[in-house]
Amino acid sequence: MNSKLVSFILMSLTCPLAWAGSLLDSIVGKRTVFLGDSITQAGTYVSFTSYYLQRLHPEKNFDVYPLGLSSETLSGLSEKGHAGGRFPRPCLFERLGRLMEKVEPEVVFACYGINCGIYKPLDDERFAAFKAGVERLIMDCKAAGVEQVIIVTPPIYDTTVKDGEFNYDQVMTAYAAWETSLKVEGVHVIDLHSAMRKARDARTEVFSRDRVHPGKEGHLFMAMSILKGLGVKVPADDLAKIQQDPLFKKVDRLRSYRSKQWMRHIGYNRERLVKPQILGETKSEVVKIQIEIDALRKK
């Protein structure tokens, strides 16, 4: 990704922020959880987001817990034959209570939708299930004492179809439009979908080769959208340069390590049941990696 393209992407981000100024201060020093499906579990956009927060604000502390789970939904729905019939899609609410109890998050980012419509046309029943899932997530977060819930609308379903053909991205557009209409105290919405759709329409190359999972450019775009929503001004850096930065490598290592260890500690049920496990030396190891990150931030 060259600097000109990054500049275009930054200009194309159109997240509506009429409801607030900067949200950055609301996450500084707070236990911040990122929830979502396989895109969040892959975690590259979380790493890019954390990297810029750490790099651009070396005087501030950020405490990010990346806890996405592949195939997961908020709707509780699953298509027939999912994963070759081996298992249905997991639903966040199987693990959310344990997550809240163990992590005690103060801020929650949630990016769902792409799996929630189970890749079928827009339907009142499926749409209602998604809405109910989002509303339950907000309610459960508030009941657990979460101070800020930040809903990130779903990324695009990255395909081009002929007129009259079914386009699953229309479902994501409807889901995103409904989410941006939410007016709930302590809940903010970053409209990733609209910004990503606009950027994709202006280019010929896909963000997601399999239509669902963005490549590195797509993950960087997601991070930029979130950072803009937080009120962070992001420089137009080259993707390769970011990935070569020792600071990014350390931040990415921390994200990957913490995700694996805490997912096991919380437990989840996907293809198989993973019972909650002890954290062991996880917290001390995280401290060590963060010390290494802080040393790089001061340079």
In CATH, what number does 3-242 get? 3.40.50.1110
Query: Is residue 99 within 8 Å of 140, Cβ to Cβ?
Result: no
Note the pLDDT tens digit of each residue in 259-295.
999 999 999 999 999 999 999 999 999 999 999 999 9
Q: What is the 3-state secondary structure (H, E, C) of the chain?
A: CCHHHHHHHHHHCCCCCCCCCCCHHHCCCCEEEEEECHHHHHCHHHHHHHHHHHHHCCCCCCEEEECCCCCCECCCCCCCCHHHHCCCCCEHHHCHHHHHHHHCCCEEEEECCCCCCCCCCCCHHHHHHHHHHHHHHHHHHHHCCCCEEEEECCCCCCCCCCCCCCCCHHHHHHHHHHHHCCCCCCEEEECHHHHHHHHHHCCCCCCCCCCCCCCHHHHHHHHHHHHHHHCCCCCCCCHHHHHHCHHHHHHHHHHHHHHHHHHHHHCEECCCEECCCCCCCHHHHHHHHHHHHHHHHCC
Per-residue pLDDT band for 161 (boundaries 50, 70, 90) equals: confident
Per-residue pLDDT band for 298 (boundaries 50, 70, 90) equals: confident
Per-residue pLDDT band for 86 (boundaries 50, 70, 90) equals: very high
Note the pLDDT tens digit of each residue in 217-274.
999 999 999 999 999 999 989 999 999 999 999 999 999 999 999 999 999 999 999 9
- Give which of 112, 113, 115, 209 is closest to 159, Cα–Cα: 209
Residue type (1 letter), 166: F
Instruction: Note the pLDDT of residue 163.
Output: 82
With 0-12 / 13-18 / 19 or more C-beta atoms within 10 angstroms meaning exposed / middle / buried, residue 244 is: exposed
Average pLDDT over every residue of 130-157:
98
Output the average pLDDT for the chain: 92
Per-residue pLDDT band for 104 (boundaries 50, 70, 90) equals: very high
Radius of gyration (Cα) for the chain, nearest Å? Answer: 18
Residue 213 pLDDT > 90, yes or no? yes
Query: Is residue 243 within 8 Å of 216, Cβ to Cβ?
Result: yes
Instruction: Note the pLDDT of residue 145.
Output: 97
Distance CA 269, CA 95 (A): 8
pTM of the prediction? 0.92
Per-residue pLDDT band for 7 (boundaries 50, 70, 90) equals: very low
Average pLDDT over every residue of 147-160:
96
Residue 120 pLDDT > 70, yes or no? yes
User: With pLDDT > 90 as the criterion, what percentage of the chain qualifies?
Assistant: 89
Average pLDDT over every residue of 110-122:
97
